[in-house]
Structure 1
């Protein structure tokens, strides 16, 4: 692997010279959205992803880029190939909108596929990969999934897929989204679903590249989900998930309490959760499986 010039290529890089891995984290938010999230949550989606990856693999080198930004350079496939993996964050952007920001992100994702670099994405990251490979994304009809995605189950293809290795027959996960995958592209493999969203996990093979993604957020803590609920309180009330702001605050406060005390049985009971959601390692299982299965062997070979 070759070192990356972070000043000309990305927003930020860390631990570059002696890293175990070199990861590229693509911020799917615009600059205004990154600033807004920092005001509420303390960091952007890409900064949250980077913090999670640094906790999981101390010494990792991470470069963040923002493909949606007008001044951002869309890196070439050859340049992306210098990384061990690409991670694509969630975003308030709607992939089905024909805007310059979305088009720049689609161009970036097509370059990721062409690079052959393994990629992983959450929420809008999955939707971006789907659209870049020829699938379809839509606004969820008359519903929204917020706080906790319930009773996710693997499909027949997903039961033995390494992305979901170690998952229970049914599991809950952090989630907040109003868009969803309508149709996977050719080469897409449906791995998990639930009653709210048919495509909860998928593998996409396109143009020589492979992408594993989930509609939920394994990278986020309960406290970060609580912040997201408060930020989108009006949307949750409009969708009928809460009667008023007090109802949203009640759920957010429970998630904050779980963040502070993951073993609190009373909080788990109030949220209707088991310990697999509260446990940090289990919550991040898909990211761990992606790195162990697709990234580590590639790094060793390089």
Structure 2
């Protein structure tokens, strides 16, 4: 039986706020996705950014088949105790050699832990969907992106981005908004695969996220007012309920790569499929 560790870096208040809106924390949502994709796997959640949490040594982390890092409001360029604890956890993951995968802030944590840099996005953000993602030459041959077409869209909501990749990283995909959309990092004994977008999220969760950040989206110039955000969130929510409905796909300008659950989760499925081939010395 496979054992997966899901590390959520939300603060207790952030987890409570997300549960109030969606019924689950980011980690709980991620765990549900993994249960659907890897039937029978044992999935354990942890909160490495929280004060007073039991530590995870490389030896303890080595008992897991994979570690998953969720999205979060965490900003890894802030020198806070929460960020320091999260980065220490990720360095232990790398030291353990356990393969790891991360989305959005999870990618940013891995980048910073391996020596790269993350920044607030200057005068822009991605909200709802990341559009026209394109694989690099290395990405077209990498198993993380197997099955992706020449260009694709994905669920996304973020205002931070990778500024500089660490040594040992390979850029796999980007778009016009954010240069780093997918990456592999080899650091210490570990291998990390990550994406800036959210393959684990449902369209319903994206709609909720837009509603929660409506004021910020208006401030960023992505919408004229909160009513416009609500209208868009409503269409996304409707597509969640009826993903094959052509009129909704047309209104949002999306296709099956984003509307279909299995296609949306491509990178997670590829990571799970590749786990037996990723050894603990950092070689694929």
Asked if Structure 1 and Structure 2 have the same fold, meaning a TM-score greater than 0.5 normalized by the shorter chain, the answer is yes
Return the match for 2:15 from 27, 30, 34. Answer: 34
The normalised TM-score by structure 1 is 0.91
SS at match of 1:195: coil
Would the aligned equivalents of 1:230 and 1:252 in 2 still touch at CA under 8 Å?
A: yes
Q: What corresponds to 2:233 in structure 1?
A: 252
Q: What corresponds to 1:241 in structure 2?
A: 222
In the alignment, does 2:39 pair up with 1:58?
yes
In the alignment, does 2:205 pair up with 1:219?
no
In the alignment, does 2:68 pair up with 1:68?
no
In the aligned structure 1, how far is the partner of 2:276 from the partner of 2:108?
21
Runs of 4+ in 1 over 2 A off after TM superposition: 294-299
- For structure 1, the residue ranges without an aligned partner over 5 or more in a row are 1-19
Cα displacement string for residues 266-295 of structure 1 (whole angstroms, at most 9, x for unaligned residues) = 000000001121111110000011111124
SS at match of 1:263: coil
In the aligned structure 2, how far is the partner of 1:251 from the partner of 1:215?
22
Would the aligned equivalents of 2:99 and 2:278 in 1 still touch at CA under 8 Å?
A: no
Q: CA deviation at 1:298?
A: 6.0
Return the match for 1:125 from 103, 106, 109. Answer: 106
Return the match for 1:104 from 85, 104, 118. Answer: 85
In the aligned structure 1, how far is the partner of 2:137 from the partner of 2:143?
13
Would the aligned equivalents of 2:202 and 2:240 in 1 still touch at CA under 8 Å?
A: yes
Cα displacement string for residues 136-193 of structure 1 (whole angstroms, at most 9, x for unaligned residues) = 0000000010000000000011011000000000000000000000000000100000
Give the CA RMSD over aligned residues: 1.1
Q: What corresponds to 2:272 in structure 1?
A: 291
Within a 5 Å distance, the mapping from 1:190-201 to structure 2 comes to 190-201=171-182
Structure 1 stretch 129-138 or stretch 70-79: which is displaced more?
70-79
Q: What corresponds to 2:58 in structure 1?
A: 77
Would the aligned equivalents of 1:74 and 1:107 in 2 still touch at CA under 8 Å?
A: no
SS at match of 1:97: coil
- For structure 2, the residue ranges without an aligned partner over 5 or more in a row are none
The normalised TM-score by structure 2 is 0.97
